[in-house]
Amino acid sequence: MISSQRRPFSRAVWTALFALLLLLVVGVLTLGSAASYTGERFHETQLVWILLGLGVAGVVAFLDMRFFEQLSPVFYWAAVLLLLLVLGFGKEVNASRRWFSLGDVSLQPSEFAKPALVLMLARFFHGERNPERYTLRMLLRPLGYVALPVALVMMEPDLGTSLVLIAVGFSVMFFEGIRLRSFLTLLGVILLLIPLAWELNVIQPYQKERVRTWLSMSGARPATREEADSRMQPEQALWAVGSGGWTGRGSGQAIQSRLRYLPEMHNDYIFAAFAEERGFFGALGLLGLYGALVVALLVLALRARERFAALVCVGATAILFWQVVFNIGMVTGLFPVVGLTLPFLSYGGSSMISSMLAVGMALNAGLHRGHV
């Protein structure tokens, strides 16, 4: 094993760390504000998860990249195995099996599938020595690497994570240099697969319901009570975001949150609570922080010395980026409800640690010189 040499912190690293710190502060403040409505003091527990997450990020950031490269098939197939096991032995919550229950601790294998997929793809492309752009035929293997965990996660079912996996896979391939024609072909295939999945009931009825809800949300009054109920949560989130206005209602004045019309206020819908309190300016600021983090991490990818590190960095960044986009898109009604957390803001250990893992992987690329 060749030892790697550490680089000094670049401006990009500092920017990324600073943005991350601010996001964590905003997250704790938002949870604290939520506590004033619900009385549930999640922000205190969240501090524990943040410390734990930072530890994970630090360890991952300073580990040797070689270690990841060599072990990536192990991680990948372990993740796939876990995904298989969770289908059989997972704890059923709300009609889906996503979690292993180990005493007090719950483990969500799909959270590990995301970094594992990134490592596997990076290793594959690292091994390919074709400087030219890839053809569709050459992409069959990496597509298989993506499709396997996506299919398993779909079966849980967990539409949100499947979408993130697909998006991350595409991001890595795209960055590596996929042909435009191939890219368009793939896109076409996926667009064809969606109605097929719909028809073959791979997409669960409740997921279909959410899509219908989303499609009808801007429409007229709900026709039935069931429709009104299913519409309620996303609709109430829209009310919350919208009522923020330019500057927001201010701390403790968010009526939607106060009246508890955001049932998952600490979790998937924390952006709604934030946007109601802080308004358009606050939301823009938050997008700016995520943007700064993502761009800074991408800059690290550009500076990476080897293909593997660069692709890991891009993949890890893509995990964060797409999760932010899908979550905010869902809360603001751009996408149907998919059930994803917002990195660094949503409450919970699983979300925090997996987001920190991604940050650590991305930073790793920028902190190591690679092997000589």
Q: Specify the residue, 78 or 295, whose C-beta has the smaller distance to other proteins.
A: 295
Considering the complex, what minimum distance in angstroms separates the CB of residue 52 from other proteins? Answer: 28
Q: Specify the residue, 95 or 180, whose C-beta has the smaller distance to other proteins.
A: 180
Q: Specify the residue, 244 or 339, whose C-beta has the smaller distance to other proteins.
A: 244
Q: What is the DSSP letter of 201?
A: T
Determine the Cα–Cα distance for residues 329 and 314; give it in Å rounded to an integer: 21
Determine the Cα–Cα distance for residues 253 and 258; give it in Å rounded to an integer: 7
Q: Specify the residue, 73 or 291, whose C-beta has the smaller distance to other proteins.
A: 291
Binding site residues, other proteins, CB under 8 A: 126, 129, 131, 171, 174-177, 236, 238-246, 249, 253, 255-256, 258-261, 263, 275-276, 279-280, 283-284, 287, 290-291, 294-295, 298-299, 301-307, 310, 314, 321, 325, 328-329, 332-334, 370
Determine the Cα–Cα distance for residues 6 and 64; give it in Å rounded to an integer: 10
The full length of the chain comes to 372
Considering the complex, what minimum distance in angstroms separates the CB of residue 130 from other proteins? Answer: 11
Residue closest to 313 by CA, chosen among 118, 54, 71, 57: 118
Determine the Cα–Cα distance for residues 273 and 294; give it in Å rounded to an integer: 23
Considering the complex, what minimum distance in angstroms separates the CB of residue 34 from other proteins? Answer: 14
Considering the complex, what minimum distance in angstroms separates the CB of residue 309 from other proteins? Answer: 11
Considering the complex, what minimum distance in angstroms separates the CB of residue 234 from other proteins? Answer: 12
Considering the complex, what minimum distance in angstroms separates the CB of residue 358 from other proteins? Answer: 15
Q: Specify the residue, 146 or 167, whose C-beta has the smaller distance to other proteins.
A: 167
Considering the complex, what minimum distance in angstroms separates the CB of residue 227 from other proteins? Answer: 17
Q: Specify the residue, 111 or 277, whose C-beta has the smaller distance to other proteins.
A: 277
Determine the Cα–Cα distance for residues 353 and 173; give it in Å rounded to an integer: 25
C-beta of residue 26 within 8 angstroms of C-beta of residue 250: no
C-beta of residue 319 within 8 angstroms of C-beta of residue 225: no
Determine the Cα–Cα distance for residues 58 and 63; give it in Å rounded to an integer: 9
Determine the Cα–Cα distance for residues 43 and 109; give it in Å rounded to an integer: 25
Residue owning tokens 């922080």 = 289
Q: Specify the residue, 80 or 240, whose C-beta has the smaller distance to other proteins.
A: 240
In three-state form (DSSP H/G/I as H, E/B as E, the rest C), the secondary structure along 37-84 is: HHCCCHHHHHHHHHHHHHHHHHHHHHCCHHHHHHHHHHHHHHHHHHHH
